[in-house]
Amino acid sequence: MATLAINGGSPVRTRPFPPRRPFGEREVELAAQAIRSQNLFGPGGTMVPELERRFAALYGLSHATASTSGTAAIHVALGALNPEPGDEIITAPITDAGTVAPILFQNCVPVFADIDDTFNIDPRDVEAKITPRTRAIIAVHLFGNPCDLDALAAIARRHGVTLIEDCCQAHLTDYKGRPCGSIGDIGCFSLQQSKHMTCGDGGLTVTRDAALAERMALFRDKGWPRKPGARGYVLLGLNYRMTELQAAVALAQLDKVAEVVRRRNELGDRLSALISSAPGIIPAPVTPGGRHTYWSYGLRCVGHDPVRFAAALRAEGIPCGQGYIGKPIYLCMEPLAARRTFGTSSHPLDSCHGARRLDYAEGMCPRTEAILREMITLGIHEHLADADIADMAAGINKVAAGLHD
């Protein structure tokens, strides 16, 4: 048995892993074209509308609204939905603040459903959390692994609530032959630097509902229809307009995203196969009927101290994280945990408008809290070689066996 590097042995890998290089000459060409047009303003340009049209078509939908970020994309979805103050939005406890902040800014109350072994919200707990004030479910496809959308869509229909898919980590992620984002009522995507397709930052919100699409376009442009004549603002919205420069880069990325997703799926599935027998390790879960796209690779370390395992793996030359966000979002996002939102108030968490008071405290989602402690994350991207994945697997297998003994 080889001595672990953390104990003085030779590491599995001594050279750095290759970086991701998402941009090429096509992005440069289209960005230059946008600049030479002398107009980078989205509403007056051609590239933002083209991106919206092509992105919607990629998902088999009729409408897409471009915006400035994944957070904005989710806010556009909620703004179009127009919930009442004090309404409840059920979502996932393992996510970024960008999923939760739009809920608060729409004066709604975030409700967190616990997860199952897929790392995604458990439909049974979602249904248990529904109340007369529930307005929507935001299903987060964590790391690129799809939620159980059949069950969630059935729950949404049964209770008359809207199903929003947070696909910020899940571009072209397949669920039973359909892309995530096209199955719920609304899909939300991020174009941030780390995502499967990127323009540095940006967002897209998709739907098949024409009325929702109209409100989305208004909400991201301050409620302004931009019709001839006197100016008028028909609803309360924000300036989330994408620029032509962002759209230029995103259009070039649109031609690459299918291959990016295919390669990530191949690499992630290969890593799972190579570590399937590692003692005390559960490879990244894949939802039945789904195809994982591995924005990140998350495994569970159940037979070892996860902190010790991560330290030992890093000593082997394999970069990794332990615990992902550390604690569930309701504990690591201070506006929730400390009930400090606007000024010195806790609005909308203050029972205003008849809203239910929730205390965001440990024990709210016990399975989430336990799984986060066990979680180890590794970066996977399309520019890694098969040999890089082999080294990752060798490091995981070596540490799992060494700590097991």
Which amino acids are annotated catalytic? 195
- Write the burial class of residue 289 (CB in 10 Å: 0-12 exposed, 13-18 middle, 19+ buried): middle
Q: How far apart are CA 226 and CA 214, in angstroms?
A: 13
Give the Cα separation of 301 and 317 in Å (integer): 18
Instruction: Pull the structure tokens for residue 143.
Output: 């790391």
Tokens describing residue 155: 């729950």
Neighbours of 28 (CB within 10 A): 13
Contacting residues for 186 by C-beta, under 8 A, at least 6 apart:
77, 80, 81, 162, 163, 164, 165, 205, 206, 207, 209, 212
Rounded Cα–Cα distance for residues 87 and 93 (Å): 18
> Hey, how many other C-beta atoms are within 10 angstroms of the C-beta on 342?
13
Which structure tokens are listed for 404?
């097991």
Answer for the pair 65, 213: CB distance below 8 angstroms, yes or no: yes
Each residue of 379-399: b (16+ CB within 10 Å) or e?
bbbbebeeebbebbbbbbbbb
Strand pairing partners for 140?
A: 166
SS3 at position 134: strand
CA dist., res. 49 & res. 63, Å (int): 11
Omega before 348 within 30 of 0, i.e. cis:
yes
Kindly give, in sequence order, each residue whose CB lies less than 8 Å from that of residue 94, ignoring residues fewer than 6 positions away: 115, 119, 140, 142, 324, 325, 328, 329, 368, 372
Q: Which long-range contacts (CB under 8 A, 24 or more apart) does 96-99 make?
A: 96/70, 96/71, 96/168, 96/325, 96/329, 97/71, 97/329, 97/333, 98/69, 98/70, 98/71, 98/74, 98/168, 98/190, 99/71, 99/74, 99/138, 99/140, 99/166, 99/168, 99/329
Nearest Cα residue to 189 out of 24, 46, 41, 77: 77
